[in-house]
Structure 1
């Protein structure tokens, strides 16, 4: 087994970098704590129709408590409003599907999309482990995939991160495109995940085709989903930079970016991809957190979670 090369910041990741992501889990509230309830977990429980939470205790009602949790028997007996408290079921399997393919080996922002995927996967893994959940996942690329069974073990997470780093280090622009590995990864997740699991999907925004959409729909029937499609600003808009040349192996493509019709068509395709993800997430009733290479991943996740919080009544 050959040693993993040192990382090139923003282009490739190292195992040390992904291990260090554990220090950043305090910066974003991915999962609940005794003091705070994550809006993401709130969505998880509401979709499960009550599964995943256990009754904890009854205490005196406080302003801001949900009136639906009032314990009317205790309230009638004590003549003082009381509310029920619940805590989350522990050791919930969290399965992280993360893409490391040639189409992610690109970026014009802070990092390549492949690096962004690895960083977010590591962050979610460390957050889940600190929350006492079982963590595993599947790293899939153009021609291979590596699966780690969910366990409540630091070693299991390190195995997943190690596989992720090796796949990332092997990426290059000359890798031939393989078959529909995203659809195959989703099909495998359906085979191994039990009801009540949370599947976290980190993939290129362009990965959503008819087959993948069907697999996601089937997967959502018995597991919870968090969708995190990845994109780069250049996936959505071409700069007016004149003649641009793109090459892959022996193929060469030239685009005249001064052509306004070409840029408008290119932009429309990017908008259509975004809209397709939004329509799918709404149909399945699952959270959609699009990520871009333009901004820090922690800030993006924090913004998405803030957007998931229920608005206060005026």
Structure 2
């Protein structure tokens, strides 16, 4: 569903070869060349108490303790285990195993509520842009990228893979599922809770999980499942928004807002309906804030009315 209005971002859409409604693979490949700029604002480093699930045989000063052995020439003196050295009378060194190629999963909700946009992109297209940017960042760190992409009717699973293989499969899945959702925006048979439940089943311990949605259809069960995921994975949440959802302009009596999905008769919204809508949206946002606080995760808000690269620093702050 899109609100017809003039946007000041026509040039950006032309550069991206985008109509803002149906995502293309070219749009998602665009972010491959933006990794260096995005990394300057990247804050998604794992907490010191968390490590990756995949361990290499290479010994080094990593996060995971491996063993203590006799000190050898060339060992880093900072790794000397002074307690064992004092007890045995001979120098001993602590060895560690380094985390390697962490699995990263992007969980993308492209359901009916994300087929809405008023200024630059519909939310589902911006969700795909964000997923692609996070995917290319993962590839740049030599992590394995995969994901679950829901159209609201079904979902596609992309098993985490390294190098370009996983990323190209992810791009294909994003495009296919966004088009599927865009073609049938009101025929939802799979809920956000279904998507998170499947994530809970397939995300291995230590996986970095990026959940992308507008969260408008999230339930108590959704957050219970997210809590279960957070216990074993590094969880990040992103909230897609549109400017009209948070601050809908007051329509003039002679010029009410016309909202259409391009197929059905437009919905005309007067000032009374507008105020009721905003009140309901404010209540929903307050509920979501409370749920995320209880979860211990701060959702990063992404505006579909602005180019992703223009807000990346704020998103990753």
TM-score, normalization by structure 1: 0.74
**Which runs of 5 or more residues in structure 2 are unaligned?**
1-15, 53-61, 66-74, 83-93
Shift of 1:246: 4.2
Preserved CA contact (<8 Å) 1:236 1:269: no
Preserved CA contact (<8 Å) 1:106 1:113: yes
Preserved CA contact (<8 Å) 2:213 2:238: yes
Q: How many residues align structurally?
A: 270
In structure 1, the residue matched to 2:47 is 45
Superposed CA RMSD: 3.2
SS of 1:40's equivalent in the other structure is coil
In structure 2, the residue matched to 1:140 is 150
1:208 aligns with 2:218: yes
1:107 aligns with 2:121: no
**Which runs of 5 or more residues in structure 1 are unaligned?**
1-5, 32-37, 61-69, 74-83, 307-314
Separation of aligned partners in 2, 1:225 and 1:55 = 20
Shift of 1:141: 1.2
Separation of aligned partners in 2, 1:247 and 1:296 = 23
Q: 1:196 to 1:55 in 2, by over 3 A?
A: closer
Shift of 1:154: 1.0
Separation of aligned partners in 2, 1:215 and 1:150 = 21
1:266 aligns with 2:277: yes
TM-score, normalization by structure 2: 0.74
2:63 alignment partner, one of 37, 54, 59: 54
In structure 1, the residue matched to 2:247 is 237
Post-superposition Cα deviations, 1:193-229, rounded to whole Å, max 9, x if no partner, equal 1111111011123132223222212222221211001
Q: How does 1:77-226 map to 2 (within 5 A)?
A: 89-172=99-182, 174-226=184-236
Shift of 1:233: 1.0
1:304 aligns with 2:315: yes
The structure that has the greater radius of gyration is 2
Preserved CA contact (<8 Å) 1:205 1:273: no
Question: 246-255 or 7-16, which moves further after superposition?
Answer: 246-255
Question: 139-148 or 267-276, which moves further after superposition?
Answer: 267-276
Q: 1:172 to 1:195 in 2, by over 3 A?
A: closer
Preserved CA contact (<8 Å) 1:205 1:231: no
